[in-house]
Structure 1
Amino acid sequence: MFVRQELWRHMKRCQSKPAMSDESAGGRQRVLTIAAVAKSAFSGQVDDGLMKVLSQMNDDEIARVVRNDFGLLQFAQSLYNRHGFNKTKHEYICQKVRELARFILALRKKCPSFTLEDAMKPANFMNVIDAVKDAAGFNQDTHSYQTPSLALKIGHSLLKVSEILHCRALITEDAELTNSAKAFQKLYKTKWSEYISHKALCTISDLKYNKPTKLPLTQDIDKLNDYLQRSAESAFQELSQNTTEHNYACLARLTLTRIILFNRRRVGEVSKMPLKNFLQRDDSYAFEELGLSAYEKRLCKYFTRVELKGKRGRKVAVLLSPDITKALELLVEKRKQCGVLQDNEYLFAAPKGNSFYRGHDCLKKFAAECGASHPEYLRSTQLRKHVATTSQILNLKHNELDQLADFLGHDISVHREYYRLPDATVQVAKISKLLLALEKGMLPELRGKTLDEIKDFTDEDDDQDDSDEDTSETRPQHITSGNYG
């Protein structure tokens, strides 16, 4: 047996220790966290895989709450049963568990011995309300939250906990726990919106008013694209001539960023692209019988399409140009020589571990290096909103808009509500034409015309009446109307 504080020294030299990559080996704090998890009173009642996931958390007060609350561990076990097979979801599991642990810490300020199961009792419902407000930073004077999303997330998690406890009570035939869980669900359904979610949603809505639209500039996108192409060509030559881990990493990061930028994909979707999806790509397209133009047929022969799993399991695709395909093939060829583990399933695998290169970090790095005037706007979400917003000027048909939304991985309603931003320039330039026409009583003459068909005309009344000189400084001399014939 070893003293807990000395265990980390033994693990460094123990001949029976399991083989670990440099990434997962960790240090003193990592070993002490594993020891703390193993010491937990409930460690034998949950899966070893879950305890391994929880051992990745920082050994702080929140982690100690997680390890010693049985209801919280049951919630974590439910998440692990659903998402544990996916290693990329392990961080999400820890995040959801820590949110509830922060709630429990806030609850224990009033009731030091409370557990998550105690929070499900109807008599403690108002204490639960106060704890959620405390954890989310509710301001009684302004009736707003510092972190409104946290209040909503804690509410969803508490409802899930009540369902878990209800199922456990039914299995164990615990009538008292069954009644408590059902009562909490009833209270949540009728009172949660009144006390928590309504104010949280209002806070989120208020924060969106007059918020500047941070869309990337076209010249910044051009600078980033040119920089990536030049750097990728150099990195390709370097890796071809000198196979090193550094050259592999450079080409992988550049290629990953180029795919994200061109396809306007979510960074997580491309970063976690499985190697098998690229190797099993289908280059044959039945486009001869679709009535495509000659230019569209050439594009079908030029690009390679790879399908991957998007948000909520939606099937999405990325288009790869020939130079990007060649770069990916070189990366696959050099994987073993550059230290990528054989069981690493990701296309953009990082050497000496089972992880992958993060697209957000790569995009942020190259945006800062390319000389853009606003590199902070060159992010995945802003790029996706940029293409959705600028597509408004194309006057796309309904089926074409559906195709764009499907490629971006959106439901069409989500695309219209969240991604087609109400661009200020579009509103001022186009809607103002209609408003000015209404002001002048010209609407009957605009019948059957679109906003783009309304053209400039000179307001003759303003030109002929010198008495309107003062008002002409406050509104345009030229308003728009149709062709009067």
Structure 2
Amino acid sequence: MTQDEVAIAVKSDEYILKVGEKMYNRQRENASHHENVRQTMRGLGRLLIQGRKVTPLKQMKDYILPQNFHHVVQAVKDVAGFNEKLNKFQKPTLATKLGQSIQRVADIMEAEALSCQNNVKKRAVQEFRRIYSLTWNDMISSAAYRTVEEKKWNKAKLIPLADDVKKMHMCISDRQGKCYKKLMEEKTSANWSNLAKVLLAQIILFNRRREGEVSKMSLEAFVNRDKSPVNEDVTEALSELEKKLCHHFERVEIRGKRGRKVPIILTPDMVESLELLVKERGSCGVGENSYFFARPGFETRLRGSDCIRELAKSCGAQKPEALSSTKLRKQVATLSQVLNLNDTEQDLLADFLGHDIRVHRKFYRLPEGTLQLAKISKVLMACEQGRLAEFKGKSLDQISISPKDTSEVGEESSGEESEDTQGKSLSGMYAFKIDLIVFDSAIQQFCFNH
């Protein structure tokens, strides 16, 4: 923590230190969350400093008294830059986070009161909580969230073009082969890092995964991945193509947002390169770093966003700024609307992407690992090959696509014949044009529905 006026205020207040200790104990094993602990403590420190200037409140414990609630509101408004005339915050997220931090202080004080059987203190905290629940939303939260939403209005919303994504996939595949060959020939930390950067970007791009989730993948998660064969009883419910996909791809479960389990699907080429990185960690100076995508000689990790940004600029994409992990996730979620997915398939895709489902529909399903390998991999390969538009109106069961750059559309009836050869060739000639047309229609439908 920077040693300034805020740090001095933090160190001088016992309850700010207790909030930091509580958060650290909860997130001790994840070093990437330690920055969040620091920011929370400094936020309370700034509130304490501003509160001393505009209110009679001197310590954090004074904030959790019901008679001081109006002083708390005034201090939060001042430190977050509230404009009374416009009813807007200059720093709206700070206002909402301070409300959460004040609740943490109240939690600690109530726990102390209960453990010490201090009924006076307990009653005061409970009364403060009651006032908070009744008035905080009207006085702080509503204006803060409205400010955040209004800042998003009228801003350009970039979504990657299918052609740009295809160019990036081809660039990454080409570079991955070259980096693999170089590491095989010369075991150096530079060659190890180059291959790791390419693989990190490739996994994020193929899986449409949040960059932080893949970047933080542990070595243990990959080494201990499930390699057991698919249950024979389960495969009876799959098509022949889906059975082959289950044997073609591998799956690794990693920690995702809010600590939830999220999967990543790996191609055979990815697995081969990842196993080479594991084998050469010692000879390339990676050491005992627990991260899979480690920085040789350091205890930190590579950043997926940096790797994707570098490759996006060098692949010849028309809009490289649109090729980020967040925008790529939005692309597959939006363009998947051209597929005729039923409710179960939509839920499966949302689960794979790690999206929260507000109204969760519960279905009896096959095991999720098998479904992700057999069905979601079809969507990922279609995006990689720039052929998602070819499957317009099809369900996941009707899509037939090969990992070896060949695809065909499965019909509802096994006896129906495909379109004539001339129609197929015309479809191939205008694949890119169809991608753009369907992309525009999908965006229009998405905007209309939301």
Partner of 1:367: 312
**Structure 1 residues 199 and 179: alpha-carbon distance in aligned structure 2, compared to 1, 3 A threshold:** same
Of 409, 414, 431, which residue of structure 1 is paired with 2:354? 409
TM-superposition CA deviations, 1:342-401 (whole Å, max 9, x none): 2x2221122223222121222222223323232222111111111000011112111111
Instruction: Map residues 119-198 of structure 1 onto 2, 5 A cutoff.
Output: 119-198=63-142
Post-superposition Cα deviations, 1:257-297, rounded to whole Å, max 9, x if no partner, equal 10000001111211111212211222322367334333222
Q: In structure 1, what is the Cα distance between the partners aligned to 2:332 and 2:115?
A: 52
**Structure 1 CA distance, aligned partners of 2:254 and 2:128?**
40
CA RMSD of aligned residues (A): 2.4
2:240 counterpart of 1:294 = yes
Query: Using a 3 Å threshold, how does the CA distance of structure 1 residues 319 and 415 change in structure 2: closer, same or farther?
Result: farther
1:225 corresponding residue in structure 2: 169
Kindly indicate whether residue 256 of structure 2 is the aligned counterpart of residue 310 of structure 1: yes
Q: CA separation in 1, counterparts of 2:293 and 2:249? A: 20
* Alignment partner, residue 4 of structure 2: 60
Given that 1:272 and 1:346 are in contact with CA atoms closer than 8 Å, whether structure 2 keeps it comes out as yes
Corresponding residue to 1:320 among 259, 263, 266:
266
Q: Which runs of 5+ in 2 are unaligned?
A: 362-438
1:98 to 34, 42, 45: 42
TM-superposed CA distance for 1:425, in Å, is: 4.3
Q: 1:83 aligns with which of 15, 20, 27?
A: 27
CA change 1:367–1:62 in 2 (3 A) is: farther
1:178 shift after superposition? 2.7
Partner residue in 2 for 1:331: 277
| Aligned-pair CA distance for 1:336 | 1.0
CA distance in 2 between counterparts of 1:181 and 1:174 reads 11
Q: Match of 1:300, SS?
A: helix
How far apart are the structure 2 equivalents of 1:389 and 1:205?
21
Q: Give the secondary structure class of the aligned counterpart of 1:412.
A: coil
Mapped contact 1:405–1:415 kept (Cα < 8 A)? no
Matching residue's letter, 1:231: R
Q: For residue 282 of structure 2, what is the amino acid of its counterpart?
A: K
Q: Tell me the TM-score normalized by structure 1.
A: 0.71
1:74/1:430 CA distance change after superposition, 3 Å: closer
Q: CA deviation at 1:428?
A: 4.6
**Is the Cα contact below 8 Å between 1:143 and 1:199 reproduced in 2?**
yes
Match of 1:378 in 2: 323
Alignment correspondent of 1:399: 344
**Residue matched to 1:354:** 299
Secondary structure of the corresponding residue to residue 319 of structure 1: strand
Q: Among 100, 116, 126, which residue is 2:60 paired with?
A: 116
Preserved contact between residue 205 and residue 328 of structure 2 (Cα < 8 Å): yes
Query: How far 1:118 sits from its partner (Å)?
Result: 1.6
CA shift at 1:313, angstroms? 3.0
Residues 89 and 70 of structure 1, relative CA distance in 2, 3 Å threshold: same
User: Whole-Å Cα distance in 2 between the matches of residues 396 and 375 of structure 1?
Assistant: 30
1-structure distance, mates of 2:39, 2:238: 48
Tell me how far apart the structure 1 counterparts of residues 443 and 328 of structure 2 sit (CA, whole Å).
20
- SS of the aligned residue for 2:264 comes to strand
Contact 2:214 2:304 in 1 (8 A): yes
User: Does the C-alpha gap of structure 1 residues 324 and 415 become closer, same or farther in structure 2, counting only changes over 3 Å?
Assistant: farther
Please, which moves more after superposition, 181-190 or 322-331?
181-190
**1:266 has 2:266 as partner:** no
How much has 1:207 moved relative to structure 2? Answer: 3.0
Q: 1: distance between equivalents of 2:125 and 2:440?
A: 49
Give the counterpart letter for 2:255 in structure 1: K
Tell me which structure has the larger Cα radius of gyration: 1
* 2:339 maps to amino acid: L
| Superposed displacement of residue 100, structure 1 | 1.8
Other structure's SS at 1:355 match: coil
Matches within 5 A, 1:335-346: 335-342=281-288, 344-346=289-291
Unaligned runs of 5+ in 1: 1-56, 417-422, 433-485
Q: Deviations over 1:9-68 (max 9, x none)?
A: xxxxxxxxxxxxxxxxxxxxxxxxxxxxxxxxxxxxxxxxxxxxxxxx222332222222
What is the number of residues matched between the two proteins?
369
Aligned-pair identity (%): 42
Note the C-alpha offset of 1:429.
7.0
Greater shift after overlay, 392-401 or 205-214? 205-214
Cα distance in 1 between the residues matched to 2:149 and 2:258: 25
Provide the C-alpha distance between the structure 2 equivalents of 1:273 and 1:429, rounded to a whole number of angstroms: 36
The answer as to whether partners of 2:110 and 2:121 remain within 8 angstroms in 1 is yes
The CA deviation at 1:431 is: 9.7
